[in-house]
Every structure is written in C-alpha cells, then in structure tokens.
Chains A and B, each alone.
Chain A
Amino acid sequence: MKYYTRVGGTEREYEFAHDGDALVVQSNGTTCRVVRTQIGDGTVFSLLIDDRAYDCLVDFVDGKAVVQVLGERVEVEVEDDRERAARAVSAAKSGGKRTVEAAMPGVVVSVDVAEGDLVEDGQTLVVLDAMKMQNPIGADGAGRVERVHVKVGETVSSGDPLVELGDPESGE
C-alpha cells in the first residue's frame, strides 16, 4: 500500500516496510528509518527520523492532516492507494465536478468569472472581503465554470459554495 501527500503544491509518495520497531520508508527515491511512538490519545507522535527527533501532532480534519511540528502548522492532503483510486473513480463519474467553497466568512466584493468560462489552476474566481482584507479565492485546478452561487455584496459563511467547476473538456 502506498501513501501520498500533497503540501504546498509538492506531492510525495511513501511506502512503508517493517523492520523490528522501525519503519523503513521509501519516499521519492530516498530511504529513511522512522521509529514512531504514539503519546496519549493518539494525535501526538514522537518520530525519530534517522535518529532525528520530531514531536509531531497530527490531527485528521475533513480528510486533511493538520500537522504541528517545529513550531509550524501545516495542512497536508494525505491519501492511500485505495482512497486515491476511489477519488479517481468519483472524479470520473462527476466529470471532474467540484465546488469551490468560502474558506472564511466574508462579503463578496467581486465575481471574476461567469458560467461557461474556462479557468486555469489558481485563477481568481471570487474576491472575499473579510476583516477589511481582500482575499482572492482561486480555482483548485483547471475547469469550466458550471455555476456561480454568489453575487457581489452577498455575505457568505465559511464553507458556503461559491463556484462549481466541471471538467474543462465538457462544453456547454
């Protein structure tokens, strides 16, 4: 079983094998030895990665791992082979359809796309104003805008749907 992570645009894959107490981890052409100890209720791990000690906290929230390590808080998308295959199937079924949601509560100050538009990965769809800051909300990948849920001036809560994107190949 392989595992995959995605952090800040970089994808990595991992394969684990047992070696006594340790795990031998193959990752993108490199090998390391990891000794893990779980502390308390299960979210805190002490990892010895090639003898370097890391005190990590890993919380699984909405399918993502929120990792606190070295004073940082890092969100990691993580999945195994099975999940990856399931996701591919469901993506194929839905024709690449997905909903871009509001990451924070705010007021829509501009809608930069219209239904039918082709957008690129990261292209600004909507700008949200929250706490006097302008926050561009970008596409999570290339696609065709299938539906725009919001209008300028509208107040949205965190998690509200903003824009629905579909497969870029599927024309109107």
Chain B
Amino acid sequence: MTPPSPPFRRLLIANRGEIALRVMATAREMGIETVAVFSEVDRNALHARRADRAICVGPASPSESYLVPEKILEAARATECDALHPGYGFLSENADFSDACAAAGITFVGPSASAIKTMGDKVEARRAALAAGVPLVPGDDRSIDDPAELAAKAEEIGYPVMLKAAAGGGGKGIRIVNEEGELASAYQLARNEAEASFGDGRVYLEKFVTRPRHVEIQIMADKHGKVVHYGERECSVQRRHQKLVEESPCVALTPELRAQMGDAACALASAVGYVGAGTVEFLYSEGEFYFLEMNTRLQVEHPITEMCYGVDLVREQLRVAAGHPASHASEPQGHAIEIRVNAEDPDTFFPSLGTITRLAVPGGPGVRLDASLFVGQEITPYYDSMLGKLIVYAADRERAIERARRCVREFRIVGVSTSLPVALRVFESEEFREGDYDTGILERIDRSVPESTLEVAGLAAAVAKFHRSETFSAPASEGRGHGVTPWVLVDRVARLGGRR
C-alpha cells in the first residue's frame, strides 16, 4: 500500500512557540516539508531547530519580524513553499495577508480575506450572525452616537448593559453599565479606549449576561460547501478574557443544546462562505446561548477537541485547504482538560522572565504536552507568556480532573514562575469540581496555598539549609584525586551530598 500523497509539498509555518511545533508535527507526519521562520532572539527556539528549513525574518520585536507580511511572504517564496499555516495570533487573522498569499500563489491555510474581514469586525459579525439565524445577545448592532438614542436603546435592552468597541478584542473598550446614570460617562470612556486601542472609536450596546459561561463550537468547513462541527469547549476559567483552563465537553450542555449550538455555528460558517477551521464563541447562561464572535483560525485550546473526537485538526485544515472534503465528525468520547502554562507569577499574574534551568514534565496515560520548552530556553519579554499547554484525557470528567491535578503536581519548571499552581486551585475548588461555574470563577476561588503544603515547604527549606551546612563543612579534598573515573567521582560526590 502506498501512502496517500501529501496535499502540499512544502509548508511555511508563520509562527513560533508551541503552535509552530504543533503544526510541524502533523505536517511532518503527512510527508510535507516544513519551513520555520524565526526572529533573531528565536534562533535557539525549538521550532527553528526542528523544521526542515529555517529562515530568519528579522529582529525580536514581532512588528519587525513575525508580523511583517512582506518578510513572511518573502521567506515562503524563497523556499518555494506551496502553502502557509499562520497558527494563531500574529498574521492568522489578517485579511490582507490571506489575500497576499493567494496573490503569490501560496495556499493560505485558513479562510478567505472576506470571511476574516467579516468576522474581524464585531458589528459586521453580529449582522452576519443575525442573518444566519444565530441567537445574539439582545442589543443593537449599530454604533450609536446620539446620547438620547443610546439611553432609549439601553432602556429597551434592559440594564445591566455593556458598551463594546466595534473593532475590539482582548477586553479593551468594554464598559459595563448598571443604570442610566452611568451611561453617559461610560460611553465616553469606552469611545476613548476604543479610539486609543484600535484607532476606531465606534462602540455598540449589548445586554450584560449574568453568570455567563464561555462555550465555543469548533467547526471545519471545506471548499465544497460542507461544514461539520466538533462539539464544544468550555472556556470559562479565565482572567481578563485570558483563558487558563478549558474542558470538553461542557457539563452544562444537554445533547439538544449541543446540537442547536453546533447547527448555529455551522449555519454562520456557511453564510459567510467560510473555509477551514474556525471557532464560534457563545455566551451560555441558563439554557440560552448567544453568539459572541467567531475566531477565524485554529484556537489555542483545539487539542481538547482532538482528544474527545479522535481528530487531528491541523491535518483536517491542511486537507480542506488543498480542496479535499471535510471528514465526517465521529461521536465524541471521554473528557479532556487543557491547562495553559504561562510564564507568570501565580499570585500577581505578572510575566515572569528568565532562563529555564530545569524541567520535569508529566507523563503516563492520557497525557499530552504541547509545548516548546527546553532547558536553556530564555523567556524573553517580546512574545506571549504562554509556554505551552498540558492536556489530559480520561473516560469521564472526574477522572480527567484527578489526572489534571496529578500532572500539574508532577510538572516542574525552574527558572521562571508559572501559572500552574493557579490551575491546581481551580481543580481543588468545589465550584469547578461540581461544574457549576462561570467566567467569574477565578476571582472567587481561594488562591492560597494549603497550610499543609506550606509546612512541608518550610521543613524542606530547613533540611536543605542544614544539608548545605553539613556539606560545606565536610573535607573538600575527597574525591578530587587522580585515577578516579568521572562515574565514581559523581557517585562519591553524590554520597557526600556535594554541590556541583
């Protein structure tokens, strides 16, 4: 039997970090040659080392390297790539870039420029959703400038309401208004913030949904008009719209709701002529779901879907980009949880910079690690603080949570602080374990380290210090003699408890 011929000959991966490695893994398994791009500070990064070819695209600052369409395209042309995978972030949702790839005869592994444009503009996206019959949060999709009209509309929707930037994202330009008295000043603030952040001051009104869950549907659309969905991901464990823990399936959904949301997501994708992998985000609250936005790329948290559906979404992306029909989505099984590993202080969430000096990663059944970590890796301030993702899979939710806890406890990264302890707090919280949580969970759970652990840590520190004092006062000449093999030496030093 001859293996099927790969859909592309050579793929440029226009990204870095774990997602570049993730894409590379599938491309390589499919027999596609890979080309990495890297910035000057990323010369030692795994993606630049592991690819078949690697091209330097400029200085550390993304705006001078990974974000420059011309440089990325030039790298693709110079290496004669026939396809380009943008990953997430960077140029993945840049409509002009999608166009430029097409013009250069390079297949952009993602949707068309028009689909990116439509979904990238919140006002237009809402309009498209409305037209496709997808439920929306009650609101007004027009940006309103007249204060009287704004007040009337807010009254009609019912307080609390939200003001959101039309060109927004990442939580910027959002204001919650509890009553009419706050409306005028909130409107001005939202406008200013939107103008400052996006150069576009348009804002619109929306009902503020209480105790919302963030539930998203994974879709895959081919070039023949077929759209399939791969169920949902629950992403409510987040802080300032930055997700920390995701799980699939979502405990709140019934099979009927799942089918309804899946159908709605597919309808929206069809309506905008979508091709490729996409995620339709919904707010879910008390049996109702409302369209939030569509992300026109592969999501960070895609692995939990892959675990439950036994699908390789990157393979599907590459197949549909080459014109193959989308595969049939099988029935989901089991439960998957993803924990994002961010280089940040677990208490303050400040980015933590440094060099990774030691690493112990979890393994065993049902464990997947999508990460670009290595000992000697420098965590620089130029890029996202996410170092990778730990994904666990088990037969049911309870077992998945226990597996996640085990793995977080086994995971050790030295040199930078990580967000891993926060995930531990989540898994230990009643709220998460019972499954009845919403996007406010991280602010509510007790984030303090258990007293019993502090006690062990104190004792460990004291023992280590005592051990050091014993070691330093031991005779230093021992084991330094000639005629001793390094192995014997190591053994002796170890027995002495010597420090290197």
Contact = CB atoms under 8 A, between A and B. Distances in A.
Contacts of A162: none
Interface in B443-500: 448-449, 453-469, 494, 497-500
B459 A58 contact: no
A71 to B, nearest CB: 4
A23 B463 CA distance: 9
Given A38-B497, A68-B414, A16 B466 contact: yes
A130 B498 CA distance: 41
Nearest to B405: A71
B383 interface: no
Nearest to B500: A41
Given A43-B358, A131-B351, A135-B348, A80 B465 contact: yes
Contacts of A43: 358, 414
A22 B464 CA distance: 14
Interface stretch (A7-15, A84-92, A110-118, A141-149): A7-15
A72 B460 contact: no
A1 B462 CA distance: 12
Given A12-B458, A71-B420, A34 B463 contact: yes
Contact of B461 (A34, A36, A73, A78): A78
Contacts, number: 133
A57 interface: yes
Contacts of A152: none
Interface string A49-74: 10000101111100001011111111
Contacts of B358: 43-44, 57
B350 A130 contact: yes
- B interface residue count range (under 10 / 10 to 19 / 20 to 34 / 35 or more): 35 or more
B224 interface: no
B454 A10 contact: yes
Q: Is the interface of B mostly helix, strand, loop or mixed?
A: helix
Contacts of A131: 349-351
B43 interface: no
A75 to B, nearest CB: 9
Contact of A14 (B449, B457, B459): B459
Interface string A77-112: 010100000000000000000000000100000000
A4 B349 CA distance: 29
Indicate the member of B348, B410, B454 with the most A CB atoms within 10 Å. Answer: B454
B409 interface: yes
Given A57-B358, A80-B469, A135-B348, A7 B463 contact: no
Contacts of A16: 463, 466
A124 interface: no
Contacts of B275: none
Given A73-B417, A131-B351, A45 B465 contact: no
Counting contact residues on chain A (CB < 8 A from B), the size range is: 35 or more
A42 interface: yes
B350 to A, nearest CB: 5
A76 interface: yes
A155 interface: no
B346 interface: yes
B408 interface: yes
Contacts of B497: 38, 42
B460 A45 contact: yes
Contacts of A25: 459, 462-463
B355 to A, nearest CB: 13
> Which of A3, A45, A54 has the largest count of B CB atoms less than 10 A from its CB?
A3
B350 A104 contact: yes
B461 A67 contact: yes
Contacts of B468: 60
B409 A71 contact: yes
Interface string A134-159: 01000000000000000000000000
A66 to B, nearest CB: 9
A42 B456 contact: no
A69 B464 contact: no
Chain A CB within 10 Å, residue with most, of B412, B454, B464, B499: B464
19 contacts: A8-B449, A8-B454, A14-B466, A23-B466, A38-B494, A43-B358, A47-B463, A54-B456, A57-B358, A65-B460, A67-B457, A72-B457, A73-B417, A73-B418, A78-B458, A78-B462, A131-B349, A131-B351, A135-B348
**Which 6 A-B residue pairs are closest in the complex by CB-CB distance?**
A71-B409, A65-B461, A74-B457, A58-B464, A42-B499, A76-B461
